Chains A and B, each alone.
Chain A
Amino acid sequence: MKDPYEVLGVARTASEDDIRKAYRRLAKKLHPDLNPGAKEAEENFKEVSNAYDLLSDAERRRRYDNGEIDASGAERPQRQYYRDFADGQGAGAYRPAFDGSGDAADIFAELFARQARAARRGRDYHYTLAIDFLDAVNGASHRLTTPDGATLDLSIPAGINDGQVLRLRGKGGPGSGDGEPGDALVTISVRPHRFFTREGNDIRIDLPVTLKEAVLGGKVETPTPTGKVMLSIPKGSNSGSILRLKGKGVAHGSIRGDQLVRLKIVLPPEPDAELEALLSKWTPTSIDNPRKDMLS
């Protein structure tokens, strides 16, 4: 038997008014009829009520304080709560107008139907698959072996993005009963490429060209995700200038991105005597300082 002061959460010196207030506060929370579904409310409420019965009676409180009676001396008789009748026939007269055939029934029918569906569907399985950059751009088929030994054939659509998730319907956990199996969800991770990068639907590449190709122009072989193409370098192309190969980017539905080629002029790996001789004899027609914007 707990100390009634402790049960009500009041000091031993609490006034009658304090005790009543403490009891009311607890009773509002714990009264079984205000907690129709909480079975434990009855025990808790009984404890609080017993404590209140004892402490609200000045004479019994005095005797308890003097140690003449213990906390159980105030035990309430068993009683029945209205909630015990509320579900049965006895409460018929108090039942509100809406009955089991109205809106409420529809709401709950839907609720339970949903729950039943969800409960019987199999679990989704999650996988991660790393694919090559070019497979992501061009599309590919992959076979995945799951930890439990099953194989999944995966068709990767052209233009898939890093982090995109492919759903294989019905390839997840088995459903219980007549429930559908779950899905396999494969998260795609795209490995970077040695020289291609992707920006939306465009492919970017830095293309080395010789000084001669840059100055005189010409056709050079350029890799694209779908194979080599000949790229025309205009006469006098600068390092860093960007040439566009239309339609050589990533296919995305009916539209296709471009490939953007940035030229990078490279000098011969070894000093070239002929080039040096040539340039030392060369006098630019206009004296131009390429750094003048920085220095002015």
Chain B
Amino acid sequence: MTISRVEFLRRVGIDQETLDVWIDEEWLIVSDTEHDSPFTDADLARAHFIRDLISDLGVNHEGVGVVLHLLDQVHELRRVVMQQARSELPAGHTGDEN
């Protein structure tokens, strides 16, 4: 499901100018800006998180970029671990059964 720009701004609770900054900073990456509904649910959840960082957690502008960068790495590491866990463990089990 994709979300239009207007709907996105309403649901995150930010204005157009703020959104442009977030996109400029690459905190949000929108692949097809010409599209009528360029945002995904993942973008929306990420935007909520950015808003929480700034308004609730007191993270300043530079800090947001750092947090997102580290967080993206954490997620990637988690993804690789899971992938390895799935590909390694069944191999061990076939050994048991043979």
Contacts and interface: CB of A to CB of B under 8 A. Distances in A.
Do A and B make up one complex?
yes
A82 B40 CA distance: 11
Interface string B59-81: 00000000111011111111111
Contacts of B96: 120, 176-178
B45 A84 contact: yes
Contacts of B83: 100, 105
B45 A85 contact: yes
A88 interface: yes
A31 interface: yes
Contacts of B80: 100, 104-105, 108
Given A28-B57, A31-B57, A108-B84, A178 B98 contact: yes
A119 B42 contact: no
Contacts of A36: 71, 74-75, 78
B88 A85 contact: no
Central interface residue in A33, A90, A96, A100, by most chain B CB within 10 Å: A33
A12 interface: no
Given A28-B57, A93-B31, A105-B80, A33 B49 contact: yes
A24 B53 CA distance: 10
Given A27-B57, A100-B83, A81 B72 contact: no
Given A27-B56, A82-B49, A112-B85, A90 B40 contact: yes
Contact of A86 (B75, B88, B97): B75
Central interface residue in B42, B52, B96, B98, by most chain A CB within 10 Å: B42
Interface in B35-53: 40-46, 48-49, 52
Nearest to A120: B92
A11 to B, nearest CB: 21
Contacts of B92: 116, 119-120, 177
A24 B76 contact: no
Given A24-B57, A27-B52, A93-B29, A98 B76 contact: yes
Contact of A82 (B48, B56, B88, B95): B48
Contacts of B79: 86-87, 100
B60 to A, nearest CB: 13
Interface of A: 23-24, 27-28, 31, 33-34, 36-37, 52, 79-88, 90-91, 93-96, 98, 100, 104-105, 108-109, 111-113, 116, 119-120, 176-179
Q: Which are the 10 A-B pairs with shortest beta-carbon distances?
A: A90-B42, A177-B96, A85-B42, A86-B75, A93-B29, A112-B88, A82-B45, A108-B84, A178-B95, A33-B49
5 contacts: A31-B57, A82-B42, A83-B75, A108-B80, A112-B85
